[in-house]
Amino acid sequence: MPTHLIDSPIYGNAWHTAEMRAIFDDEPRLQSWLDLIATLAEAQAELGFIPQAAAPEIRRVCHLALLDLAAVQRGYAETGHSMLGLIRELKKLCRGDAGEWVYFGATVQDITDTHTALALRQVWGIVFRDVRQIEADLLRLALEHRDTPMIGRTHGQAGLPITAGYKLAVWVAEIRRQLERLKDMSRRLGEGQLAGGVGSLSSYGERGLELQRNFLARLGLRPPVISWITARDSLVEFVNLLALIAATFDKIGHEVYNLQRPEIGEIHEGFVTGTVGSITMPHKRNPEIAEHLGTLARLIRHQAHALAESQVHEHERDGRGWKAEWALLGPVCAMTGALLRLSQTMCANLVIERARMAANLEATGGAILSENVMLALAHHLGKQTAHELVYQTALAAMAAGQPFKQALLEQPTITQYLSASTIGELLDYRRHTGACPQLVDQVAASVHSARLTDEVYLT
Could you tell me which residues are beta bridge partners of residue 154?
A: 157
Going 384 to 389 to 395 to 401, the CA torsion angle's sign is: negative
Among all residues, which ones are annotated catalytic? 155, 278
Single-letter code of the amino acid located at 100 = E
CB burial of 347-382 (b: ≥16 within 10 Å; e: otherwise) equals beebebbeebbbebbeebbbbbbbebbbebbeeebe
CA 368 to centroid of chain Cα atoms? 35
The per-residue b/e assignment along 193-205, b for 16 or more CB within 10 angstroms, e otherwise, is bbbbbebebeebe
371, amino acid identity: E
Q: Considering just the CA atoms, what is the radius of gyration of the chain in Å?
A: 30
Measured distance CA(21)–CA(5) in Å, rounded? 13
| Distance from the first to the final alpha carbon of the chain | 40
CA atoms within 13 A on the CB side of 7: 8
